[in-house]
């Protein structure tokens, strides 16, 4: 086992591949983080206040969320990459483990994002589609952009995060699925999609009402998850696992209201896209020939940096930048312009031999790039054009030219201080075997941590085995718990027993909340609607709070009262109710969560009638309950 891992890791660590996929993964991961931060910002009073808007325990939470949002934006654009991913990793640990997010508002993907954030610390996420790569180029302005070689990275930076973050998660999840009757019946994907609390606004009944299709999906998921970590790296099966995985998580994103989990998992599949596909895509989107040729002064530092910036963002390669001193004489359209005048501005020549200069060149560059077309149009607007032209002239006429000296020949580029560069490029390149052995030992350690988690929750917990009965096994149990705590907090290694039989067994009632408006009419709170669906934006971790903690197969009266208080206080403030005198009604409807297939089960659950089981009243911002002492008996 060890030698097999070592040989595989050694081969991957020395294989050079494009950095494109890691750059795309970084962008997707950053966007998922950013949307979740915006979500937390919107619901910060519901999540972090003991009593929303009334008892504010964390008044500075918005400040720290704003900082986190800035960090996530840095990750998206690839700016100060190592600093950004380090701060992001710390933010995930702090918010997940030291706030109520851990206990009451588990997003279902928090630990996954923590584990992915840990691996990003060691990945070359700044090598593609990043501002950092532009910063490295700008540190050597006299090197022509065509002289920069497209960056390549170690293939291990692709495979190891996928093996741990996806492979471990899938395998652990599959162990738990074996114990769930509806999964054994092939209905693991069907059952959650028939429960009003879990579905999105899209009606998937046309698929849910096909029993054969649902069982095919259910069993495919089980086989896929069990075999993923063993075969995803096989070149012959990689595309198959890629397509099934994308289909699985795209389905979760669209059909269920836990879209952050689906999007977070989907982001990882950028790492599974075959390298040849990235090369083919690059070939397809790259222009066959430039549509605009720009001439610039090669000996002007400002001109060189400007060209490097434009070329960096010219992703379709539609612009050709040429040195005016060397190439201008080749174009007859420029023969009327003397060489000295040609060096005072950026000149451009389009396919029709039309000449542009100054600000018009910048406008044409934006227009010809395609996706910057709106910027070009904006600069062309009357008034804007004159202001921009004046600003351009103020800069262009005061610039100084620098004769090419030793700084052109032997520049000192900006140093890359990333952990990936230190470990993979420096240590790994000079001592590949020693590096591979260290990574193998780390991988084995991670396997042990995951095995500890899977055995603890997947087998001992399922079979109700108590290790504390024996002094020796009790010590083992304590050690196991200590390892679980460390691996959970810092690596995101945790049980993935989501939506199993112990979650749905007895899940036969759901709750909703209405309020009495100023005219005495009953209105539905914008939380759970008449069908029983949780309305957007009450998805993700808010859905988890209500559907997994407040309302469960065995409803705990204390917990459900706590969350009724939080929901009514938050949404009451949002819709303008006066909590000095507000009346809410608690509705209950009976539903069914069968472990066998039932035709049109989703609509049957949605059509079930509601009954009023109690009221909640706010008086002088103090809540009073008139609810049954035991919701389970209703």
Tokens of 222: 């089980």
Residue range 100-114, pLDDT digits in tens: 888 899 878 999 999
Residue pair 546/587 in contact by the 8 Å Cβ criterion: no
pLDDT exceeds cutoff 90 at 189: yes
What DSSP letter does each residue of 1-39 carry, written as one string? -HHHHHHHHHHHHH-EEESHHHHHHHHHHHHHHHHHHHH
Tokens of 577: 């109710």
pTM to 2 decimals?
Answer: 0.92
582 - beta bridge partners?
618
Number of domains in the chain: 3
Q: Which of 76-85, 197-206, 285-294 has the lowest mean pLDDT?
A: 285-294
CATH number, residue 294: 3.40.30.10
In a domain, residue 578? The reply is yes
- CB contact set of 437 (below 8 Å; sequence gap of 6+): 6
Which of 403, 434, 457 finishes a domain? 403
pLDDT for 233 equals 93
In a domain, residue 67? The reply is yes
Torsion sign (Cα): 6, 7, 12, 13: positive
Q: How far apart are CA 102 and CA 69, in angstroms?
A: 20
pLDDT exceeds cutoff 50 at 258: yes
What average pLDDT does the structure give for the chain?
Answer: 90
Give all strands (DSSP E) within 274-394, no chain letters. 292-296, 319-323, 347-350, 355-357
CA terminus-to-terminus distance, the chain: 56
Residue pair 14/257 in contact by the 8 Å Cβ criterion: no
In a domain, residue 267? The reply is no
pLDDT for 410 equals 43
pLDDT-derived band at 378, boundaries 50, 70, 90: very high
Determine the angle formed by the axes of helices 20-42 and 81-97, rounding to 10 degrees. Answer: 40
Q: How far apart are CA 500 and CA 176, in angstroms?
A: 8
Render the burial of 507-530: b for 16+ CB within 10 Å, e for the rest. bebbbbbbbbeeeeeeeebebbee
Q: Which helix (H) or strand (E) holds 623?
A: strand 622-626
pLDDT exceeds cutoff 70 at 400: no
Tokens of 173: 């999840």
Q: Could you give the strand order of the β-sheet that contains 355-357, starting from the edge strand earlier in sequence?
A: 319-323, 292-296, 347-350, 355-357
pLDDT-derived band at 72, boundaries 50, 70, 90: very high
In a domain, residue 546? The reply is yes
pLDDT-derived band at 407, boundaries 50, 70, 90: very low
Mean pLDDT of 59-84: 96
Tokens of 317: 């390669």
- CB contact set of 33 (below 8 Å; sequence gap of 6+): 68, 72, 75, 88, 113
Q: Look at 135 and 30; give whichever has higher pLDDT.
A: 30
In a domain, residue 173? The reply is no
CA distances for 287 relative to 282, 284, 317, 327, 368, angstroms: 10, 8, 6, 21, 11
pLDDT exceeds cutoff 80 at 285: yes
Residue range 191-209, pLDDT digits in tens: 999 999 999 999 999 999 9
CA distances for 183 relative to 156, 214, 374, 505, 595, angstroms: 34, 11, 51, 13, 8
pLDDT exceeds cutoff 90 at 467: no
Give all strands (DSSP E) within 505-545, no chain letters. 509-516, 522-524
Q: How far apart are CA 189 and CA 194, in angstroms?
A: 9
In a domain, residue 59? The reply is yes
pLDDT exceeding 70 applies to what percent of the chain? 94
Count Cβ atoms below 10 Å from residue 506 Cβ, excluding itself: 13
Torsion sign (Cα): 463, 468, 469, 472: positive
Q: Which of 186-195, 197-206, 321-330, 618-627 has the lowest mean pLDDT?
A: 321-330
pLDDT for 415 equals 73
Torsion sign (Cα): 484, 485, 489, 495: positive
Which of 403, 424, 449 finishes a domain? 403
125: left (phi over 0), alpha (psi -120 to 50) or beta: alpha
The SS3 assignment for 249 reads: helix
pLDDT for 401 equals 52
Tokens of 297: 């002064």
pLDDT exceeds cutoff 70 at 146: no
Q: How far apart are CA 329 and CA 339, in angstroms?
A: 9
Q: Look at 331 and 407; give whichever has higher pLDDT.
A: 331
pLDDT exceeds cutoff 70 at 35: yes
pLDDT exceeds cutoff 90 at 170: yes
> Range of 564's domain?
506-633
pLDDT for 329 equals 66
In a domain, residue 420? The reply is no
pLDDT-derived band at 342, boundaries 50, 70, 90: low
pLDDT exceeds cutoff 70 at 403: no
Q: In the block, which residue shows the tokens 């099966």?
A: 237
Mean pLDDT of 510-534: 96
pLDDT exceeds cutoff 50 at 405: no
Angle at the Cα of 30 from the Cα atoms of 29 and 33, rounded to 5 degrees: 90
Mean pLDDT of 502-517: 92
Tokens of 485: 């705590």
Closest CA to 117 of 93, 99, 133: 93
In a domain, residue 439? The reply is no
Which of 89, 109, 130 finishes a domain? 130
Tokens of 381: 């607007």
pLDDT exceeds cutoff 70 at 27: yes
624, 513: one domain = yes
512, 398: one domain = no
């Amino acid at each position: 086992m060890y030698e097999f891992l070592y040989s595989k890791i050694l081969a991957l660590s020395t294989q050079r591949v494009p950095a494109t996929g890691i750059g795309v993964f970084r962008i997707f991961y950053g966007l998922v983080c950013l949307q979740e931060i915006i979500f937390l910002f919107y619901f910060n009073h519901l999540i972090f206040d003991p009593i929303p808007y009334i008892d504010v325990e964390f008044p500075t939470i918005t400040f720290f969320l704003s900082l986190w949002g800035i960090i996530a934006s840095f990750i998206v654009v690839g700016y100060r990459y190592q600093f950004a991913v380090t701060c992001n990793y710390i933010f995930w640990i702090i918010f997940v483990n030291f706030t109520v997010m851990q206990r009451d508002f588990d997003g279902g993907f928090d630990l996954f994002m923590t584990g992915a954030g840990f691996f990003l610390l060691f990945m070359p996420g700044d090598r593609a589609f990043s501002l950092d790569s532009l910063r490295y180029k700008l540190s050597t302005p006299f090197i022509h952009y065509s002289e920069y070689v497209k960056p390549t990275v170690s293939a291990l930076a692709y495979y190891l995060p996928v093996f741990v973050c996806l492979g471990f998660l899938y395998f652990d999840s599959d162990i738990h699925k074996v114990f769930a009757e509806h999964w054994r019946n092939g209905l693991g994907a069907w059952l959650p999609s028939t429960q009003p609390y879990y579905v999105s606004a899209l009606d998937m009944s046309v698929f849910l009402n096909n029993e054969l299709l649902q069982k095919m999906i259910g069993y495919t998921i089980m086989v896929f998850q069990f075999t993923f970590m063993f075969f995803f790296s096989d070149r012959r099966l990689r595309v198959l696992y890629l397509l099934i995985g994308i289909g699985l998580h795209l389905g979760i994103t669209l059909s269920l209201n836990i879209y952050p989990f689906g999007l977070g998992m989907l982001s990882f599949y950028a790492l599974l896209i075959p390298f040849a596909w990235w090369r083919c895509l690059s070939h397809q989107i790259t222009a066959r020939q430039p549509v605009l040729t720009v001439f610039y002064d090669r000996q002007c530092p400002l001109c060189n940096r400007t060209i490097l910036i434009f070329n960096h963002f010219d992703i379709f390669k539609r612009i050709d930048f040429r040195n005016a001193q060397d190439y201008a004489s080749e174009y007859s359209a420029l023969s009327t312009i003397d060489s000295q005048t040609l060096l005072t501005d950026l000149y451009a020549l389009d396919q029709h031999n039309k000449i542009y200069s100054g600000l018009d060149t910048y406008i044409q560059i934006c227009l010809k790039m395609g996706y910057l077309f709106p910027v070009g149009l904006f600069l062309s607007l009357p008034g804007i054009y004159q202001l921009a032209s004046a600003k351009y002239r103020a800069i262009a006429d005061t610039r100084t030219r620098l004769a090419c000296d030793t700084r052109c020949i032997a520049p000192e580029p900006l140093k890359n201080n990333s952990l990936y560069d230190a470990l993979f490029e420096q240590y790994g390149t000079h001592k590949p075997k020693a590096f591979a052995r260290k990574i193998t030992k780390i991988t084995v350690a991670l396997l042990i941590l995951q095995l500890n988690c899977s055995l603890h929750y997947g087998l001992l917990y399922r079979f109700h085995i108590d290790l504390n009965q024996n002094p020796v096994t009790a010590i083992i149990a304590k050690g196991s718990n200590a390892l679980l705590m460390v691996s959970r907090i810092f690596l995101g290694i945790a049980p993935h027993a989501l939506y199993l039989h112990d979650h749905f067994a007895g899940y036969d009632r759901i709750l909703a909340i209405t309020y009495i408006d100023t005219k005495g009419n009953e209105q539905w709170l914008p939380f759970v609607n008449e069908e029983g669906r949780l309305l957007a934006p009450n998805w993700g971790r808010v859905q988890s709070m209500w559907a997994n903690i407040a309302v469960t197969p065995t409803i705990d009266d204390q917990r459900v009262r706590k969350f009724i208080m939080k929901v009514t206080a938050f949404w009451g403030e949002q819709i303008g109710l006066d909590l000095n005198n507000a009346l809410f009604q608690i509705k209950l409807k009976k539903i069914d969560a069968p472990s066998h297939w039932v035709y049109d089960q989703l609509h049957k659950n949605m059509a079930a009638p509601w009954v009023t089981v109690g009221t909640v009243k706010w008086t002088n911002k103090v809540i009073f309950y008139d609810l049954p002492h035991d919701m389970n008996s209703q």
